[in-house]
Chain A
């Protein structure tokens, strides 16, 4: 049962159990791998064991001759490059000309069963000439003998360079009283969603192609399929079944999706391409390994005067979202504090490794860690409490940042106050015994990218269609992608709230490009804000139709009518009115089934300089987290005991879901802090399994107190902002700063492994610098 909403609302603001919960707890929810089509073939991929090599020849004759093999594909057949960003299309479905990382796809097979497909792959003969390998981005910033891509900047492997300067950073540093420099080093991490990547494609005799895929962004997949396969979009149907988690890892159109479709076209039969876990690790698109240098200047009172930031970002073999990543690693420094002077150089460099891409809190995480650790150092140097330092620098509401970000609502000060009070900070900070500590970290994130990636043709970022027929069920169509975050539930709840009907009347339809109007999908923390506004408008449209009909029936003008539970009634005479069904049937007399549309486009914003749109969003989320840790100084082993997570998502529309996002974000953040790391020896990924790439288990999770303190956002639906990605960010620096409070060791490198803590403790002892008396 949903519990009541807030501020006069029946549902929104309360705790609304996910509408797909019953299907998920019974195993009845249908994921792509659960679907079977008649005569379905098995697709398999041959991956490159070479990091960088010119392909001399690929001999597929023996594989083709194997009984049971229906098709063998190599790169030449579909060489059209694609990529999630139209400006950096540099991937091909299957390698053309050369392989760029261990795991690159060099051939694909469709066969009658798994074993035949695997055997066929063994029969493919690939002849290559090795090329120089570039596995460290530092190797790629100068001119190289064999650039990984021809499009690298001036013969280097630099995929994107961003240089920005606002104000005068050198002058600010010259007059500063305090300066810190943090050199942060961050291993790559990956999404580790539980459902492996999987696609089914079915080319049929009517010249159409149907693709079921585990994707966060059905629309971008739809476009990429059309471009690479040369089939008009209207002849391709993309269906998104239930998706078992994404976190950014299912947001690019991925090569296996296109290869699967190509194999179906080749064979005329349905093909399933299920990637095994190892394949998923090689597909990656996870958080970029990054080196950043963050310099912060403040005055004697701890007011921030300037940031000077340099980031070197390891892109791996493809561009993916990399241009956005390169901007975000600088511009997402623009909150939650006022920054009067700002300089940034970011370089994303291709390497011969699995591609990096977008992962939850994309571009904002590693940067934020270095900034917040640096601010902790400033607080210590200025003898300010870390909370006071941040309070003093908070970005005010309704302001503009120096790079022209429009800030509307912010409840950052309320986040700080709530985290400070609930955590008992003032009685703990620097006061807990040696080995225990508390740390503060803060966060800031976009609530939906203002710029859709594909802006041609001009269209809203989200559209929602409603249809209601005489049965009184409301069908909701939209291409928004529920990947577990509960967007279907929110969509249904918004419609039910506006119309006053029971939630059970609302049926959110599976994403199907034949019937779902376009929403650009689950990335950049955009769905609640954009889809929510579109859904509200669609429901308001439908409500207006019902009110007009009720007005005819009751003889009272529309202005006097209001919606109540399953009813439309006269505002001050609630006994006079009609039921929802009566109003519906009255409205249908002339028009038949009712339909309504709502759409959302973000308002124009951002400056006019190059790259000005990067990081602009119709709203921003804010957070302040306190972590309490216990560190064993002998072994360096530590655990998070408790996390107080104060977050400003505007008004939380479904508290159950927002809490779930915060708790899940903390899990993912703790993974990156406590041990997740894509480990390489040269170009070879050493840990492509969940056994060796360890995500936190239930035993490693702290107690979490979620504090939702946001005020209503003026433009968000019912006052809401994002809660999908921003809640991750503050948890990482809170941990780093808590470890410092516990044992006096600064950690500039993630993951924070116990040996690094022990080494830091030993260094302190050698230098005679006691900490908390130890």
Chain B
């Protein structure tokens, strides 16, 4: 059974309009940040959610955590529908799903020691007596590669990488089954990023954690994910295993994304290959075009693309794409 099941998740943010627009009849404009997203995550699996800025991946991560309320759709975790559960009853859920934030410098309370920060979730959920907490904290710090002495330090005494480890320890404190990584390594230097990514993989193997790894960096996603979901302007355009995505990307946007990653070394391809350079900019998530959202920038656009939005369809086992090029179920 899937650990997390997300069905047709939608989040529309209302636009703050002027007084007149609010009073006059007509449809209110909204920002369609997440517009019908569905996916599953199995226990122990890492799903990489990738896309560029404004695609809705961060919002999706927040929705899964119930940090913000969905406009519509279903979220089923461990067999229980938690979509509409009132906030007061979410405490047990909060033990099972946790988050690691992007910015190590603002994700820790500067006035709290590491020990208190990591110990707080343990106390809130009453997972140990007051006397046991320091030992638990030490064990968690050890698990993320820090020393027990770090418990008495304040965030400003630690480096970015160390702070991020504290953030991970805090997330692990309640013993979650799924961790949402919100650009969890994007703000780190390259060498530190590698350390933390290794840590994520080690923890996954040791604790059987599932991850929803949100990132704009395909290299990172490739390293850490079992499966990848590519997002564009609020919808998923392609979902498949990591291997398949990088070996045979089907959606034109995925292809452009991969072509744009600057790779190094002798085997590299140029990112300046004219045929693959995407022209133009993203359309606004407020006034979306009628047909496929990617049509305005797609090199393979044809008539059908402007008429109807393509749906996610299976093109190969475990590989779904939302593109009219593959309509009928085969490439």
Co-complex (A, B): no
B residues sitting closer than 8 Å to A (CB atoms) are none
A residues sitting closer than 8 Å to B (CB atoms) are none
